[in-house]
């Protein structure tokens, strides 16, 4: 049940730009803002049901941001407030990465779910790439805000619905390749690992 609700919450997040685009092109700003408020309320339900008590405050940050921007758009009747919401959400993710550097870097947290015993080089890699991800997401969010304020609705939809996710995918791929080449830890059942290992053989093979 928890996994299903988590999937639903993710789908709500991914679909938000498309909902905004449809409402702003077919109706007025007020209707779009009210729709976004309802959308945020629905998205909050799985978060409240799945998040642990100590994690609930952090988990509700994104719905709270959505609520603020929806109200700003409703009061001002300015659609730009609604359009910057995806970028504000992306900036929040970036800040989450950077804040985690104060304790356990976020990427290290995820890595320990797979390999609890990380060596010093692996921990350094996780810390370094947590910082990269934080700055990268904040940069993408700033670009998205510029697009929202200066470009057409169609260009905005192209950026937040496709281009932005493409940029995220690029950094994910770069980090994956760098990690594999640096540590030569390959999964022989993974075809991507097999390709990378041809150019950067495992240390036991290279020696």
Q: CA–CA distance from 186 to each of 79, 126, 127, 180 (Å)?
A: 48, 18, 21, 7
Name the residue with higher pLDDT: 24 or 57: 24
Taking residue 177's Cβ as centre, other Cβ atoms within 10 Å add up to 15
Name the residue with higher pLDDT: 85 or 41: 85
Cα–Cα distance, 170 to 38 (Å, whole number): 33
| pLDDT of the residue at 197 | 81
User: Is the pTM higher than 0.85?
Assistant: no
Task: Among 30-34, 37-41, 122-126, name the most confident range.
Answer: 122-126
Mean pLDDT on 87-114: 90
Cα–Cα distance, 84 to 45 (Å, whole number): 23
| pLDDT of the residue at 205 | 47
- Angle formed at CA 88 by CA 100 and CA 68, multiple of 5 degrees: 110
Q: Could you tell me the pLDDT band of residue 39, with boundaries at 50, 70 and 90?
A: confident
Query: Tokens 């057409």 correspond to what residue?
Result: 152
pLDDT in tens, 136-170: 999 999 999 999 999 998 999 999 988 999 999 99
pLDDT at 2 over 90: no
Residues across the chain: 207
Q: Are the CB atoms for 72 and 81 separated by under 8 Å?
A: yes
Q: Could you tell me the pLDDT band of residue 30, with boundaries at 50, 70 and 90?
A: confident
195 exposed, middle or buried (CB, 10 Å; 0-12, 13-18, 19+)? exposed
pLDDT at 10 over 70: no
Cα–Cα distance, 34 to 90 (Å, whole number): 22
Closest CA to 86 of 26, 133, 171, 145: 145
- Angle formed at CA 94 by CA 93 and CA 98, multiple of 5 degrees: 115
């Amino acid at each position: 049940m928890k996994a299903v609700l988590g999937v639903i919450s993710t789908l709500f997040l991914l679909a938000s730009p498309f909902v905004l685009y449809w409402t702003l092109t077919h109706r007025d700003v007020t209707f779009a803002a009210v729709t976004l408020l309802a959308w945020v309320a629905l998205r909050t339900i799985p978060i409240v049901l799945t998040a642990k008590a100590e994690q609930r405050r952090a988990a509700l940050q994104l719905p709270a941001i959505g609520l603020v921007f929806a109200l700003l758009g409703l009061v001002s009747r300015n659609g730009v407030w609604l359009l910057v919401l995806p970028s504000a959400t992306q900036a929040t993710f970036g800040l989450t990465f950077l804040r985690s550097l104060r304790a356990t870097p976020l990427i290290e947290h995820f890595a320990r779910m797979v390999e609890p015993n990380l060596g010093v080089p692996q921990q350094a890699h996780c810390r370094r790439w947590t910082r990269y991800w934080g700055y990268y997401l904040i940069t993408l969010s700033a670009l998205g805000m510029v697009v929202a304020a200066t470009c057409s609705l169609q260009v905005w939809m192209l950026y937040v619905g496709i281009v932005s996710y493409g940029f995220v995918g690029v950094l994910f791929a770069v980090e994956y390749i760098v990690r594999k080449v640096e540590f030569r830890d390959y999964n022989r059942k993974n075809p991507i690992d097999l390709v990378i290992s041809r150019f950067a053989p495992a240390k036991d093979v290279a020696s």
